[in-house]
A = this chain, B = another copy of it.
Amino acid sequence: MSDSCFVVRLNRYLALTAGEMKAVSALERDPKEYPSGSVLWQEGDDVSELLIVHHGWAHSETRPPNGKRQILRFHFSGDLIGAAGIAFRDAASSIVAATDMVVCRFPRKALGETFIHHPRLAALFFSMSQMESIDLADRLRAIGRSEGKARLANLFLSIAARMRAVSGESNPVVRIPLTQSDLGDAVGLTQVHVNRLIRQMTEEKLITRNRSTVTLLDEPRLIEISRFVDRFSAIDTSWFPAARA
């Protein structure tokens, strides 16, 4: 079971003990498949579970009344979904599969158990889910205070950084299975405007986009215009409690 991408991911941050490993596997029972487009849960649902993504992409989205949509965050292999909403019964956003997915669900209660028996894992989950806050904050800065091209650049870089953090590689070609509407809803722009911006960025040789593949041609300039900071490579474990037998 140690081929779980979630365990692999955790291990990248912190060498897990056998006991911890076992505790994590216990959360990953019974993976289920969901076809692209599935709604894993819906804004407002009474949610009592967390999800671990084994395979595929999802995003969290929320729908303001005006029929619009804001995509808050993307989730992929090795991600834990739902921590952000743990304080509330009702989901603050929907989770929608952007590709076919394999996902494990486990009850919140199991997280409580983990807090008792594996404080170090608790600290790790705590940290990982705080990365989500930081990611949101970065998106907020991008959307609140920069113009379209920079927002897109920021989004592409941040997705690439997260995928690289999981995979360990650093490929300039990134599979981003999103339509122009999706991209627009993620950065607060219209699909039409996204289209124009992508054309511009292509002309300026910043990126290339071909179906669901985006190639980052000029990362230095992308970073420059979006002032992107990669925060996903490592986490600070210095304050963690010691491992327990």
CB of A162 closer than 8 Å to a CB of B: no
Q: Would A137 and B136 count as touching, CB distance under 8 A?
A: yes
CB of A231 closer than 8 Å to a CB of B: yes
Q: Would A231 and B88 count as touching, CB distance under 8 A?
A: yes
The contact string, 1 if C-beta is below 8 Å from chain B, for chain A 106-122, is: 01110111011001101
CB of A62 closer than 8 Å to a CB of B: yes
CB of A200 closer than 8 Å to a CB of B: no
Given A72-B137, A112-B241, A130-B84, are A64 and B146 also a contact pair (CB < 8 Å)?
yes
Contact of A122 among B73, B88, B119, B127 (CB under 8 A): B119
Task: Say how many copies of this protein the assembly contains.
Answer: 2
Please name all residues of chain B whose beta carbon is closer than 8 Å to the beta carbon of A119 when the two chains form the complex: 112, 115-116, 119, 122
Please name all residues of chain B whose beta carbon is closer than 8 Å to the beta carbon of A145 when the two chains form the complex: 64, 66, 68-70, 185, 188
Q: Which residue on B lies nearest to A60, using beta carbons?
A: B137
Instruction: Report the separation of the CA atoms of residues A138 and B43 in the bound assembly, to the nearest whole angstrom.
Output: 13
Q: Which of A2-10, A21-29, A210-218, A232-240 contacts B (4 or more CB under 8 A)?
A: A232-240
- Minimum CB–CB distance from A17 to chain B (whole Å) comes to 15
CB of A89 closer than 8 Å to a CB of B: yes
Interface residues of A (CB under 8 A from B): 48, 60, 62, 64-66, 68-70, 72-73, 83-89, 92-93, 107-109, 111-113, 115-116, 119-120, 122-123, 125-134, 136-141, 143-146, 185, 187-188, 227, 229, 231, 235-236, 238-241
Q: Which residue on B lies nearest to A108, using beta carbons?
A: B239
- Minimum CB–CB distance from A121 to chain B (whole Å) comes to 10
Q: Would A241 and B62 count as touching, CB distance under 8 A?
A: no
Given A115-B119, A122-B122, A126-B126, are A87 and B143 also a contact pair (CB < 8 Å)?
no
- Minimum CB–CB distance from A12 to chain B (whole Å) comes to 13
Question: Which of A113, A115, A137, A239 neighbours the largest number of chain B CB atoms within 10 Å of its CB?
Answer: A137
Q: Would A92 and B137 count as touching, CB distance under 8 A?
A: yes
Please name all residues of chain B whose beta carbon is closer than 8 Å to the beta carbon of A122 when the two chains form the complex: 115, 119, 122, 126
Contact of A87 among B92, B131, B227, B241 (CB under 8 A): B131
Question: Which of A66, A92, A139, A187 neighbours the largest number of chain B CB atoms within 10 Å of its CB?
Answer: A92
- Minimum CB–CB distance from A191 to chain B (whole Å) comes to 13
Question: Which of A85, A116, A144 neighbours the largest number of chain B CB atoms within 10 Å of its CB?
Answer: A144
Q: Which residue on B lies nearest to A83, using beta carbons?
A: B130
Q: Would A130 and B85 count as touching, CB distance under 8 A?
A: yes
